[in-house]
Amino acid sequence: MTSASRIVVFSTVLASCGVGEAPPPGGGDGPSCADYCEDVTNACTGADAQYASHAACMEYCEDTGGFAAGSLDDSDTNTIGCRVFHAGAAADAPAT
């Protein structure tokens, strides 16, 4: 699979997370933007990068995205947990 195909697949998987309704979390035990951004910037690099930098990811996640924390079991809701779940899937299967 080409890098462009992996980006399309990863973007499609993230799009499957739907639309979140709650504001971004202010802390606590749930998944955080820091968790997501670390995972996605480590798993998706070079041509597969989803964000220009870790800082750009944090800005989007905390300021623009408006994501609820959710849980690490989320796989089809637009939460930080869903994004962490799919970033982990990208790390586990980089060729898909």
**Domain extents in the chain:** 3-92
The whole-angstrom separation of Cα 72 and Cα 49 is: 22
Give this prediction's pTM: 0.68
Instruction: Tell me what pLDDT residue 91 has.
Output: 87
Instruction: Tell me what pLDDT residue 93 has.
Output: 77
Question: pLDDT tens track of the chain, all 96 residues?
Answer: 444 444 444 455 455 444 343 434 444 578 999 999 999 999 999 999 999 999 999 999 999 998 999 998 888 999 999 999 999 988 887 665
